[in-house]
Structure 1
Amino acid sequence: MAPIVERFVSPGKGNGLRATARISRGQLVYSDRPLACCVSNKHSKEVCHHCFSRRETLLRCSQCKMARYCDATCQKQAWSGHKRECKCLCILLPRLPTDSVRLAARLIFALLSPRSCSSELYSLDEHESHLDLMSEQKKEGLCQLASMLELYIHHEVSNLTEEVTSALPPSCRDALSLIAKVTCNCFTISDGELQEIGVGLYPSLSLLNHDCRPNCVMVFEGTELQLRAIQDICPGDELTISYIETLSLTEDRQKQLEDQYHFLCHCQRCESSEEDGLMLSGEGEKCRLLKEALPRLEGLKAESNWEEMLEGCSHLLSAVKGDVPDENLYKLRITDMALDASVHLGRWEEALRYGVRTLPAYSRYYPDPHPVHGVQLMRVGKLQHHLECMEDALDTFKQAFTIMKLTHGEDHPMTTDLRMKMEECRSELDYKSSSKH
């Protein structure tokens, strides 16, 4: 662990991480590889199960037919971690265990394998399961997952308490406790554009506490988690991240944090609730119309029914027009959905129109530097570039680069891609300028 951070007891929060030296915004605070990770089931056909890159064509494991790889090199490098999982998947086919069950199993297999000495600040044994705080309904759901875990690994680890006793810490030897720890402490692994692709366990980073306006963000490069400061941090200051998507009403954020992580947030943003008025602004009846339409549109998105989804979004946005401002939370979500659908359908002009409309709200709700704002600017810039609006594209890419060199770092593939896009724009503008003379 870098010497610029240390573990401490955070008042009212329990364990936490704080700075031991001054940290500048944009600085890489810490990077870590997962103790265990897996690609999400819903993305298993488009993401390499070793390096977590997105690919249009992937090699499939000839045995379990589930794991996929970029090439023979990735497949070979993944085999030591996949071989026990592969046997378990083959026995369970055509059924697939849930992401949390697969992650818990991969954790067990990783701990059963010889490994180098760990220098973690926070051990698996210290992770909270929060079983005592859970409702009976949630506990029942976890019991079902624990039973599935035991069934899934049965042929590879015939008795969870026997073979695993020496490998697993005492508080993790019970399947229910292990599943509870995994679900409470795992991180969603995302690609450079912040789209979910998998889940992983990064023990030391579980020390980070939540804030709805954090001073650090997490960005992934493959499965490596990079923690970067987005504010200047003084020695002794606590490092915080956001556990959830922060573009939500205070009440909804607090409910999600309590349901999923079992605490009530008392951060400055929650205490003031100042943004809620803007998020709910607009004519009441038309706001309700947008809010009530969201579940149906989200269902169409899950089904990849882009045509119907775009039609629904377009109709709603026309119906509310200027009666609901673009900063309204529900209007913003529907505008974003219209952007996604337009891109999938190859309707570039339409996509650009929707993308541009989201930018003032993104700037308002994601104070710079924030990776979500940077990625949205990059998306819009790519549409402008594709449609040959070079001056606009260059300006948008510059705004994105100013943010992402801090949130992703100068060497991240996304930042490198942005640099190349800016050069392309400059070259094309220079060519146009010279051809006029």
Structure 2
Amino acid sequence: MAPKLERFVSPGKGNGLRATARIKRGELVYSCEPLACCVSNKLSREVCHHCFTRRETLLRCSQCKTARYCNITCQRQAWSGHKRECKCLRSLLPRIPTDSVRLAARLIFAVLSPSQNSSEELYTLEEHESHLSSVSEQKKQGLSQLASMLELYLQQEAPDLVREMTSLPPSCREPLSLIAKVTCNCFTISDGELQEIGVGLYPSLSLLNHDCRPNCVMVFKGTKLQLRAVRDINPEEELTISYIETLSLTEDGQKQLEDQYHFTCRCQRCDSQDKDGLMLSGGESTWRPLKEALPRLEGLKAESNWQTLLESCSRLLSTVGCDVPEENLYKLRVTDMALDASVHLGHWEEAVGYGEKTLPVYRQYYPDPHPVHGVQLMRVGKLQHYLVHIEDALETFKQAYQIIKVTHGDDHPMTTDLLMKMEECRTEMDQHSSS
């Protein structure tokens, strides 16, 4: 299949990707495996380090005690990429390096292993920007610490590596430059429910430029990244994705883009700040307690302290009541966390109540076919189905399907799961009407 995209120089942005032919909404534009990837440290016990599937029980590597796999097959298939990493991990136990250090090391091992190297990349590792000349002194210090950790981590392999790394491009031999390239160009790998499970480097897709209202979205099947069009795209039109969470104030989004990606967004949405008024609806004195509580609530969520999280969220939401509209960004975030906590605690009635409140707001903030909206609908539909609200569940699943078939495609496990859920609802409704 001829590629539907090509590299070009995008005015004012440097390198970019554009369409070579007309691309229809929902069409798969490009898919690829990463040059290197690793499971996030915080999920290393829950996700297979080869296929990135979540499982209740995983086999543990008997040597490094860190890598985990679904079964012997995954473990064997992972060994060629894991054997050097395994030695490095053993040398540092019980310390585990950060995700970016592990990814940088895996990148070195992948580039030095010709069998894993792809010759079809549109963008080489050497060409990736490190942006070291434009980062603040404070950030450079942080990157230098990561570079020192990378050197320490690689010491076990150092005698062989030093000799082998002479074949790498000059900017990839220098640990600081490599770490800077990795942190600036890696993608977060997410599961079907868009929860982060790892990080990976996909060189060709690092060429994609940002837009706050992009024409493409990225979803993952395991570690394979799929780029899909969410609008019809004309030949020679630039392909764009959003680098940041859609649900953020203009000022916060711009700060993240400047801090992490070193550019200022000048798109129409940023210039008009059209959603900010809605996100901050209600009197500031009434929503400020919600905003101020968020760091503590996020801490409780990170600790999986679901009972305290639910109590805190429900108390805050009942205190502000109707004074703060559902559209308020901080109220929505607190409601979403109350939903998460309710699900983890098995409080299904509460969970569906919180979930249903979020849906009209998600519809306002994610107007395009957006995977985040589709996943939220699917989540609420499953709760409605579990509570035997069959007609509501079918309607919610139908709305989710209209989005997911575009953002994920017909062959994605999420789409298959959704079609199965809709069929279950119809069967149950038929049985009910005939009894």
The TM-score normalised by the length of structure 1 is 0.98
Distance in 1, matches of 2:198 and 2:78, equals: 16
Amino acid at match of 2:137: E
Partner of 1:373: 373
Distance in 1, matches of 2:48 and 2:418, equals: 23
Amino acid at match of 1:256: Q
Is 1:199 the counterpart of 2:199 in the alignment?
yes
Partner of 1:311: 311
Deviation at 1:162, TM superposition (A): 3.4
Task: For 1:193-272, list aligned pairs within 5 A.
Answer: 193-272=193-272
Distance in 1, matches of 2:388 and 2:118, equals: 54
Is 1:109 the counterpart of 2:105 in the alignment?
no
Partner of 1:135: 136
- Mapped contact 1:124–1:203 kept (Cα < 8 A): yes
- Mapped contact 2:151–2:175 kept (Cα < 8 A): yes
SS of aligned partner of 1:271? helix
Taking only the aligned residue pairs, the percentage that are identical comes to 79
Distance in 2, matches of 1:374 and 1:47, equals: 23
Distance in 2, matches of 1:314 and 1:222, equals: 35
Distance in 1, matches of 2:357 and 2:385, equals: 17
Deviation per CA, 1:107-144, whole angstroms, max 9, x where unpaired?
Answer: 11111213255111000000000000001111011111
Amino acid at match of 2:61: C
Partner of 1:151: 152
Distance in 2, matches of 1:387 and 1:164, equals: 58
Deviation at 1:300, TM superposition (A): 0.8
Deviation at 1:368, TM superposition (A): 2.9
- Mapped contact 1:189–1:196 kept (Cα < 8 A): yes
- Mapped contact 1:161–1:174 kept (Cα < 8 A): no
Distance in 2, matches of 1:86 and 1:230, equals: 40
Distance in 2, matches of 1:319 and 1:198, equals: 37
Deviation per CA, 1:292-334, whole angstroms, max 9, x where unpaired?
Answer: 1111111111111111111111011111111111000000000
Is 1:283 the counterpart of 2:286 in the alignment?
no
Deviation at 1:99, TM superposition (A): 0.2
Amino acid at match of 2:94: P
Deviation at 1:246, TM superposition (A): 1.4
The TM-score normalised by the length of structure 2 is 0.98
Partner of 2:293: 293
SS of aligned partner of 2:166? coil
Partner of 1:44: 44
Deviation at 1:160, TM superposition (A): 5.3
Distance in 2, matches of 1:48 and 1:160, equals: 27
Amino acid at match of 1:348: W
SS of aligned partner of 1:225? strand
Amino acid at match of 2:363: S
Distance in 1, matches of 2:380 and 2:110, equals: 41
Partner of 2:14: 14
Q: Which runs of 5+ in 2 are unaligned?
A: none
Partner of 1:34: 34
Deviation per CA, 1:318-371, whole angstroms, max 9, x where unpaired?
Answer: 111111110000000000000000000000000000000000110000113100
Task: For 1:320-399, list aligned pairs within 5 A.
Answer: 320-399=320-399
Distance in 2, matches of 1:92 and 1:284, equals: 49
SS of aligned partner of 1:311? helix
Deviation per CA, 1:179-238, whole angstroms, max 9, x where unpaired?
Answer: 100110000000011000000000000000001111100000000000000011111111
Partner of 2:189: 189
SS of aligned partner of 1:420? helix
CA RMSD of aligned residues (A): 1.0
- Mapped contact 2:3–2:30 kept (Cα < 8 A): no
Deviation at 1:2, TM superposition (A): 4.2
Partner of 1:58: 58
Q: Which runs of 5+ in 1 are unaligned?
A: none
Distance in 1, matches of 2:2 and 2:120, equals: 11
SS of aligned partner of 2:217? strand
- Mapped contact 2:85–2:105 kept (Cα < 8 A): yes
Deviation per CA, 1:240-272, whole angstroms, max 9, x where unpaired?
Answer: 001111100000000000001110010111011
Matched residues, number:
434
Partner of 1:416: 416
Distance in 1, matches of 2:272 and 2:159, equals: 53
* Runs of 4+ residues deviating >3 angstroms: 159-162
Deviation per CA, 1:51-72, whole angstroms, max 9, x where unpaired?
Answer: 0000011111111111000011
Q: 1:403 to 1:391 in 2, by over 3 A?
A: same
Distance in 1, matches of 2:80 and 2:374, equals: 37
- Mapped contact 1:160–1:175 kept (Cα < 8 A): no
Distance in 2, matches of 1:359 and 1:225, equals: 27
Deviation at 1:159, TM superposition (A): 6.9
Distance in 1, matches of 2:159 and 2:132, equals: 25
Amino acid at match of 2:322: G
Distance in 2, matches of 1:248 and 1:288, equals: 16
Amino acid at match of 1:140: Q
Distance in 1, matches of 2:256 and 2:2, equals: 32
Amino acid at match of 2:398: K
- Mapped contact 1:160–1:173 kept (Cα < 8 A): no
- Mapped contact 1:37–1:201 kept (Cα < 8 A): yes
Deviation at 1:420, TM superposition (A): 0.6
